[in-house]
Amino acid sequence: MTEHERQEIKAKLIELGFWGVNDLGNPVTDRYATDKLHNRMEEKLTPGFAVVSTGFVSDIPSRQIHIVRGEFIYPITIGDTHNEAICLAALLLPEFLRQHPEYAA
């Protein structure tokens, strides 16, 4: 991922309200910022739902992000790194909640 793509993702996260203009770090590259973004995503879900990252064994390490509650597992996106996957999932979460409003907080 290029620096330009990282900045575009951060700008979109700000536009969607997941990240503040004054928030420190960039969730695409900074693990602390990614954890903060992850928590903000879970705040948008009904209590009991979680945003879960799963690693896959392959030539390229990647992470798949799921929305999970009990036996309900909804794959939302995949990324090359944990940070990238969480950011991409945050970009897709609003559409998921539009399609499944019963899961919105």
Extents of the domains making up the chain? 3-103
For the residues 30-55, what does the mean pLDDT come to?
A: 91
Class of domain 3-103: alpha beta
Give the predicted TM-score (pTM) of the model.
0.88
What integer pLDDT is reported at residue 60 of this predicted model?
52
CA distances 97 to 13, 34, 58, 105, Å, are 16, 20, 30, 9
* Nearest-angstrom CA–CA distance, 9 and 60: 21
- The residue type found at 75 is P
User: What's the pLDDT tens digit per position in 18-32?
Assistant: 999 999 999 999 999
Q: Is 55 exposed, middle or buried (0-12, 13-18, 19+ CB in 10 A)?
A: exposed
